[in-house]
Amino acid sequence: MPTPAPDGPPSAPLPPDPSYLAAVQAQVDAAARAAEPLSSSAQGAPEDLVRAVVDAVEALGPRLVALSHDLAEHPETAFEEHRSAGVLADLAAERGLDVERGAHGLPTALRADVTGGGGTGTGRGGAPVVAVMSEYDALPGIGHACGHNVIAAAGLGAVLGLAALGDRLPGGVRWLGTPAEEGGGGKETMAQHGALDGVEAAVMVHPFGYDVADHLFLGRRQLRATFTGVTAHASAQPFMGRNALDAVALAYQGVGLHRQQMPPSDRLHCVVTEGGDRPNVVPGRAQVLFYLRSERPETLRVLSERLDAICRGAALMTGCGVDLAWDENPATLPVRANAALAGRWGARMAERGRPVLPSGVVPALLAASTDFGNVSYRLPSLHPMIAVSDPGTSLHTREFAAAAAGPDGDRAVVDGAVGLALVVLDHLADPDLRAAVHADFAAAGGAVDVTRYFDAPTPAPAPGGAA
């Protein structure tokens, strides 16, 4: 075997250059120092109720932190969160909640309803009901690298703090344990099975490197393109084949060329899941899985139409057939912010010593996706981010998983639970705030038929079978 020249290919990958990220970080730090913290002039809930909720959550703090650590130590991936759902439900039941396990179409989903009378059901006498959500699925191989252990404990802690008010709770609260956020679209499945029926607003909190109430989350779709060709001997009779892997390669190149025409916030990435079995056989089947992301529902629809055309064009150029399977798991829309709810979050977090950055300070390029987006297009919603790590620590890394189970993550569990509980309490107790919340939602376009939103792409006729 020849010895590589000293200047040949390296044996390890070239590390990414951090210059751009460092420059962005410096800009964010400067903007954060100059920004006025997000706040709200709403009256909110009476002080005696606020104090009672804060005391109840803080008394539960050690249990909530222990719960967060337990989840972090026993991570379970999407739709497999049986133990995680069990420990959450057990704590909720221990504190007097009537928990439905296997709720709304998913075996690992949870639901518990609390009213002002301390019982279960919906808001009494037409009183408003707000949903509080907990996520608890982990990522394969790297555990709770998105901090869902914090989300789960904070959401449950908020509901238990509100339930402690008993008859003084001025409305209803619905706790929803929502599985499979990481690619599974659990919230959309639950919504289609009635989880949000009778609910007028929804809240949850997500770990991050900053405290911010309105951060961009992109909408996301999935496309699995399966190309079918004709097998042949790759040496003796290659001209008798139709190469399905060539179709995948052309689709991949088409996506790369299309990136020049994509809006800056769009993202398009993929993996080849099938590419043939042996080099001496022209591949008769090949498959690629795409993720598409965009800042707005309408631009996500346009990106979907372009990718549809690219894949069909690749099939046409290679003489292959193609099957396009959209959204094996539910599509997710971007998160639609609600300024009135975000303002209350900012005000309540300031009371915890957490100044919340206004929208626009943390750049949109640091954006991922979440199935909570579908909730936010159904009803007014709040999805703030709470700092558990250094700003430079990326989600979906082992470093972020460690931070979410470390001291800053522990503090975020309690602060997040208090913040969610008080925003819900403010919404239930303050009719002027409720009016502002619904006015903001209406001004943004009101409710959207999420389930049918992407019925629109009208693909061109599929190429006939392999030629």
Residue 176 CA to its chain's centroid (Å): 15
Higher-scoring residue by pLDDT: 362, 463: 362
The confidence band for 119, taking pLDDT boundaries of 50, 70 and 90, is very low
For the chain, helix, strand, coil in percent to 5 are: 40, 15, 40
Instruction: Considering only CA atoms, give the Rg of the chain.
Output: 24
**Residue 365: per-residue pLDDT:** 72
**Residue 122: per-residue pLDDT:** 52
Per-residue pLDDT reduced to its tens digit, 44-86: 999 999 999 999 999 999 999 999 999 999 999 999 999 999 9
**Residue 6: per-residue pLDDT:** 59
> Is the model's pLDDT at 175 over the cut of 90?
yes
> Is the model's pLDDT at 121 over the cut of 60?
no
Higher-scoring residue by pLDDT: 427, 464: 427
Angle at 50 between CA 49 and CA 52, to 5 degrees: 65
**Residue 461: per-residue pLDDT:** 45
**Residue 256: per-residue pLDDT:** 95
Query: What mean pLDDT is reported for the chain?
Result: 92
Alpha-carbon span 395 to 147, nearest angstrom: 8
Share above pLDDT 90 across residues of the chain, in percent, rounded to a whole number: 79
Contact 453, 326 (CB under 8 A): no
**Residue 24: per-residue pLDDT:** 84
List the single range of 22-31, 150-159, 262-271 with lowest mean pLDDT. 22-31
**Residue 3: per-residue pLDDT:** 58
**Residue 29: per-residue pLDDT:** 86
**Residue 322: per-residue pLDDT:** 98
Q: Which residues pair with 431 in a beta bridge?
A: none
> Is the model's pLDDT at 445 over the cut of 60?
yes
The confidence band for 41, taking pLDDT boundaries of 50, 70 and 90, is confident
> Is the model's pLDDT at 260 over the cut of 50?
yes
Dihedral class, residue 166 (left if φ above 0, else alpha if ψ from -120 to 50, else beta):
left
The confidence band for 467, taking pLDDT boundaries of 50, 70 and 90, is very low
> Is the model's pLDDT at 120 over the cut of 50?
no
Higher-scoring residue by pLDDT: 15, 88: 88
Contact 68, 150 (CB under 8 A): yes
List the single range of 2-11, 41-50, 208-217, 427-436 with lowest mean pLDDT. 2-11
**Residue 132: per-residue pLDDT:** 98
Residues 6+ apart with CB under 8 A from 387: 207, 208, 209, 210, 211, 354, 408, 412
Burial 346-366 (b: 16+ CB within 10 A, else e): bbbbbebebebbbbebbeeeb
The confidence band for 118, taking pLDDT boundaries of 50, 70 and 90, is very low
Per-residue pLDDT reduced to its tens digit, 384-425: 999 999 988 989 999 999 999 999 999 999 999 999 999 999
Higher-scoring residue by pLDDT: 359, 340: 340
List the single range of 198-202, 421-425, 426-430, 456-460 with lowest mean pLDDT. 456-460
Interval 223-239 mean pLDDT:
96
Higher-scoring residue by pLDDT: 345, 11: 345
The confidence band for 18, taking pLDDT boundaries of 50, 70 and 90, is confident
DSSP state of 324: E
**Residue 455: per-residue pLDDT:** 81
Quick one: which of 368, 295, 342 has its CA closest to 437? 342
**Residue 456: per-residue pLDDT:** 53
Residues 6+ apart with CB under 8 A from 445: none
**Residue 362: per-residue pLDDT:** 86
Interval 457-461 mean pLDDT:
46
Share above pLDDT 70 across residues of the chain, in percent, rounded to a whole number: 94
Quick one: which of 396, 386, 355, 458 has its CA closest to 37? 355
Higher-scoring residue by pLDDT: 105, 126: 105
> Is the model's pLDDT at 459 over the cut of 50?
no
**Residue 9: per-residue pLDDT:** 72
Q: Which residues pair with 369 in a beta bridge?
A: 218
List the single range of 9-18, 103-112, 401-410, 458-467 with lowest mean pLDDT. 458-467
Q: The pTM is what?
A: 0.89
Interval 159-169 mean pLDDT:
97
**Residue ranges with strand state E in 159-209:** 172-178, 201-203, 206-208
Q: Is 344 helix (H, G, I), strand (E, B) or coil?
A: helix
> Is the model's pLDDT at 94 over the cut of 70?
yes
